[in-house]
């Protein structure tokens, strides 16, 4: 069994897009794999995308998403509005149970690395409890390098392995930042850019990224 925690420099950088692309490639290779999101907020369309990409469209969403909050906000506030308790040890235990059922499990965090999850706890605390290697998804835009440096350092300060960066181009237009970000990211973070998705691309080599 192998597992990986997928985080991003911010909300909306394309984490689910990356997870789904990896799951489709794993399925093509015949690798039993699944994606999960221990916590989700707002709606579950991202969970359905993961489930479909893994080839299990009828799998109950509760299995891959043990904590669902209807409130579109950081989980900490969403849980308070809905009077729900958030337990990091319980979420970690449920995730490890799921990981035992698949050869590969891709765990997607909510928002950025330090998104508030519960009183005194963030997504980084959940990642630390899971003790999985981390992939960092970075949107290929101006300002990405600074955000990536800060996030990579925060991951490493938790004692976790950051395997590398997935650079995701979310616009058809290419500016100077989009052209130069890859080299700058590798220089300043010391991490490899394992893949670079151009706008509209949904193909990733799972063997190269998850090896």
User: Which CATH number belongs to the domain containing residue 198 in this structure?
Assistant: 3.40.50.300
Backbone Cα Rg of the chain = 16
Task: Tell me the pTM.
Answer: 0.95
Q: What is the pLDDT of residue 188?
A: 97
Torsion angle (degrees, nearest 10) of CA 14, 4, 128, 42:
40
Q: Phi and psi at residue 207, in whole multiples of 5°?
A: -65, -40
CA 127 – CA 64 distance, rounded (Å): 16
What is the domain count for the chain? 1
Longest CA–CA span in the chain (Å) reads 46
Q: What is the pLDDT of residue 1?
A: 60
Residue 6, token pair as written in the block: 């997928």
pLDDT tens sequence across 184-208 = 999 999 999 999 999 988 999 999 9
CB atoms within 10 A of CB 159: 8
Q: What is the pLDDT of residue 180?
A: 96
Task: Decide if 15 is catalytic.
Answer: no
Contact 14, 137 (CB under 8 A): yes
Q: What is the pLDDT of residue 173?
A: 85
Nearest in space to 143 (alpha carbons), one of 104, 102, 105, 185: 185
pLDDT tens sequence across 13-53 = 999 999 999 999 999 999 999 999 999 999 999 999 999 99
Q: What is the pLDDT of residue 144?
A: 96
Contact 110, 7 (CB under 8 A): no
CA end-to-end distance (rounded Å), the chain: 12
pLDDT tens sequence across 112-163 = 999 999 999 999 999 999 999 999 999 999 999 999 999 999 999 999 999 9
CA 207 – CA 209 distance, rounded (Å): 6
Range of the domain at 180: 2-210
Q: What is the pLDDT of residue 162?
A: 97
On the 0-12 / 13-18 / 19+ scale of CB atoms within 10 A, 81 is exposed
CA 119 – CA 121 distance, rounded (Å): 6
Task: Out of 15, 27, 37, 101, pick the active-site residue.
Answer: 37
Contact 50, 43 (CB under 8 A): no
């Amino acid at each position: 069994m192998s597992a990986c925690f997928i985080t991003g420099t911010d909300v909306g950088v394309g984490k689910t897009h990356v997870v789904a692309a990896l799951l489709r490639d794993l399925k093509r290779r015949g690798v039993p794999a699944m994606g999960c999101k221990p916590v989700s907020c707002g709606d579950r369309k991202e969970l359905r995308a993961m489930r479909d990409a893994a080839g299990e469209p009828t799998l109950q969403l509760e299995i891959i998403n043990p904590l669902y909050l209807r409130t579109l906000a950081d989980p900490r506030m969403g849980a308070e509005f809905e009077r729900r308790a958030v337990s990091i040890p319980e979420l970690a235990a449920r995730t490890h149970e799921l990981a035992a059922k698949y050869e590969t499990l891709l765990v997607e965090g909510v928002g950025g690395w330090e998104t508030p999850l519960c009183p005194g706890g963030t997504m980084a605390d959940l990642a630390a409890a899971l003790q999985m290697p981390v992939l960092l998804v970075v949107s290929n835009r101006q300002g990405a390098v600074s955000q990536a440096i800060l996030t990579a350092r925060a991951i490493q300060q938790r004692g976790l392995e950051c395997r590398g960066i997935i650079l995701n181009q979310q616009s058809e237009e290419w500016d100077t930042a989009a052209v130069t970000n890859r080299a700058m990211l590798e220089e300043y973070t010391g991490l490899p850019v394992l893949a670079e998705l151009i706008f509209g691309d949904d193909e990733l080599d799972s063997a190269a990224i998850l090896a």
